[in-house]
Amino acid sequence: MLALVQFAFIVAVPLLLVGAGLVGLFAVGALFDALEDPEGLARRIDGIFRPTAKPAKAPGKDHYYRPFWVSR
How confident is the model over 15-70, as pLDDT tens digits?
A: 999 999 999 999 999 999 999 999 999 999 998 998 888 888 877 777 666 566 66
Complete DSSP assignment for 22-40: HHHHHHHHHHHHHHH-HHH
Rounding to the nearest 10 degrees, give the CA dihedral for residues 51, 57, 63, 67.
120
pLDDT band at 8 (very low <50, low <70, confident <90, very high): confident
> What residues does each domain of the chain span?
10-49
pTM above 0.85, yes or no: no
Contacts of 61 (CB under 8 A, 6+ apart): 71
Q: Could you tell me the CA-to-CA distances from 51 to 9, 42, 47, 57 in Å, in that order?
A: 48, 16, 8, 18
CA angle centred on 46, ends 38 and 20, rounded to 5°: 65
pLDDT, tens only, 51-60: 888 888 877 7
pLDDT of residue 42: 92
